[in-house]
Chain A
């Protein structure tokens, strides 16, 4: 395997010291004189019509500068989803509406001289609501008599996809490969089960924040905690009717996203305020608002059926029927639904008859959106358990089963083509599949066979505490093929340093660092020679943004191409100085040398100085864009060992091994960090995280003490392993994605371990003690 010099190396994150010492600036750390502070008036009702809104008492309060509502802001339909254009999410939202669709929906905003005054003024806005019967149970959304969440006539889909708000149907996907019904009927083994997943919160520790100001050229500048600066510019431009050229969006350091900041939620409000008043403005959401009114993971109910051969577990027919709750607005409803199938169903690609029927429905609950895992998390909770049930019925071993039936290198799946991102998908055969290595390595490290045998009799033992082991295998994707685009620009400085400007958005993942490493590998110079500037719509080229596991694979490829172009120019100048043809030159450690006479060399600094000042002067600079034809999946195998207390219902994770194939890890420590973070989030999701509402649809647990997420004391022993996998031929230096996949594993792996320990199934996440006890007493 090729020896790399700067990638596959755990370079320290370039902003780590600056962050750890508090020097790095986040959105809320910027300030401007004369700034206005915003506060948002939110609906206390899950579903209501605003009969009358009187903001005059608020306007009379000293220090209030403006109040915005449907009364003075033109109605423009849009989607808050920060996706490519035209978006696959429906345009079903106006900044302010007379119909409020969940408890927490925006009614008005106040701009005032201080935060305190802005908040006080909220109490002075008089709103007369006609309270409507809300739709709180999404399983009833398609009933004839269900309240209609979007009765308005101007909601529309931007691409030709099923969209029927008059029936509460936000999106629908139906796909069949082969003939499921016939194959299911003819199968002698059959399993069927229904799985339910909760509504959960991303919990980035930095709340959603944006600020805006007018610069000295009367342009609108927005600083925002966003994953998608270019989509922010486009969407704000449309809503407020300001040309994109008049808007600049700056992304400073971002305090975590996980999909929550792939949404245009706070930016329109500061943009509106500053554009109308000419004054700087800021909106930082409270933690309660982040929980209630930003975005959540879509709750799913998935019914799966498999028809199989009881002798060897060969699955002939597989069906997945998904009902997705998108909440009050349809952001990401179609694509999350699609991904619940497209990221799961190709895994066991020998199944010839597959049907997927998915419906996304509205409800009067908080708005769902993109969340790390993006439908695959919900999909694998069902898929990973159903496959385990088939294996259980046919008496095989899960490791052997997956090794036998999983997709292999050189193979494809009809699902890749059948399901895309709102349109048809992209056919592909996989160049690399490291899942067999993940399984073998994981089984060995975890001592799978030994533990599985040891606990095989637990379920009918009389012990109070029962132990078991479970396994799940997964794949994700790397960027959205033929849709997402990334670009990079680079110029050289006379000390041999380079300005690397990328649209890619580092939200804490370390992408600035790994992009520098990729450039360093091409140019064989130290990564600290790259001055990385990410995401400023004025000063960096376009990139769709930090989502869909795309930055390393897609933006990394753009950076690689760009650096290769720079290398050509460096060699050209080097050839002129050394008077040797370019093809006889090589590079090493920031020097160009003659291949056969290595002592004849010249440094990058001299090359750049020559190009700038001496002969045939020019700026050594390059740009590149990249669109991928494929979306090579990373693979993972997760192994969980748990102990179930059959009296208290508590599940304790005793050991967890996560083995991942991400192609070449550009920076192994940062890649591990992605897995660890996703994994702990996933275990927290599996065991404790869930939204609770009162009977009127108001969120009850909208703070960290009520919506508990794992803290340091809660983490179980986990071991994260990256297998030394085949480099992917389409990724930069063989890299595939890593950020999302691990979050999908814990819920099904722990549920499978529970089945091994107790003989019972957990069909509903999270696995609270109540649910565990009820599963234990079920038939």
Chain B
């Protein structure tokens, strides 16, 4: 079946089966920037924004969010024209394999929208649901701090 969703600011018709998770539906409809790492809500790779809040899309039934604003990392590029966070990740060396990065970027965005100057502890807390095995988080935290400074200046 086909149903209307709002993804990255656009009304789109997505094909789905009832009972499918938002993660499955997004990926099956070509939004492959949403990554699948565990499908158990425990790794954060599939993070999307639902009305601006970072959530694991594998834990959400697609049909339940037909009336919500869904944002993937690609949609973030259009919002406020911000590529600040991905750039900060790239510059600080916070991207290694990059599989967790789209989710990390979205969690960082959700944090910085509500808290433009977070402390290190607040950054760690905001990223706690996003697991990374490559970086040890050190440069990721650095990236969020850099992005906070740059977004503050905008």
Contacts and interface: CB of A to CB of B under 8 A. Distances in A.
A722 interface: no
B90 A206 contact: no
Interface in A29-52: 29
B51 interface: no
A656 to B, nearest CB: 11
Given A22-B72, A203-B133, A680-B137, A17 B93 contact: no
B36 A28 contact: yes
Interface residues of B, number: 53
A20 B32 contact: no
Contacts, number: 178
B137 A715 contact: yes
Contacts of A508: 96-99, 134
Interface string B20-45: 00000001000011111111101101
Nearest to A372: B133
Given A204-B133, A676-B139, A19 B43 contact: no
B20 to A, nearest CB: 9
A718 to B, nearest CB: 7
Contacts of B86: 17, 20-21
Given A17-B90, A21-B73, A21-B83, A26 B133 contact: no
Contacts of B55: none
Residue with the highest number of chain A CB atoms closer than 10 Å, among B32, B39, B83, B139: B32
B105 interface: yes
B112 interface: no
B90 A677 contact: no
B38 A20 contact: no
B111 to A, nearest CB: 11
A16 B98 contact: yes
B37 A20 contact: no
Contacts of A258: 133
Contact of A703 (B42, B45, B95, B127): B42
Interface string A1-30: 000000000101101111111111110110
Contacts of B39: 286-287
B95 A712 contact: no
Given A13-B95, A712-B123, A677 B33 contact: no
Given A509-B96, A669-B93, A205 B139 contact: no
B99 A712 contact: no
A299 to B, nearest CB: 20
A211 to B, nearest CB: 13
Interface string A279-302: 000001011000000000000000
Interface in A738-761: none
Contact of A704 (B43, B72, B96): B43
Interface in B66-100: 72-74, 77, 83, 85-87, 89-93, 95-100
A205 B43 contact: yes
Given A673-B139, A709-B133, A712-B124, A287 B40 contact: yes
Nearest to A669: B93
Interface stretch (A248-256, A263-271, A491-499, A552-560): A248-256
Interface string A663-685: 00000011011001111110000
A761 B32 CA distance: 49
Contacts of A670: 93
A676 B42 contact: no
Contacts of B140: 712
B90 A256 contact: no
B135 interface: yes
A711 interface: yes
B134 A25 contact: no
21 contacts: A20-B86, A20-B102, A20-B105, A23-B33, A25-B32, A28-B32, A205-B35, A205-B100, A205-B133, A255-B37, A287-B37, A508-B99, A669-B92, A677-B135, A681-B136, A703-B42, A712-B127, A712-B128, A712-B130, A713-B124, A718-B136
Given A10-B93, A508-B99, A673-B96, 18 more contacts: A19-B95, A20-B90, A20-B101, A21-B33, A23-B74, A26-B35, A26-B99, A205-B97, A206-B99, A207-B37, A258-B133, A508-B98, A508-B134, A673-B93, A676-B136, A676-B139, A703-B40, A704-B43
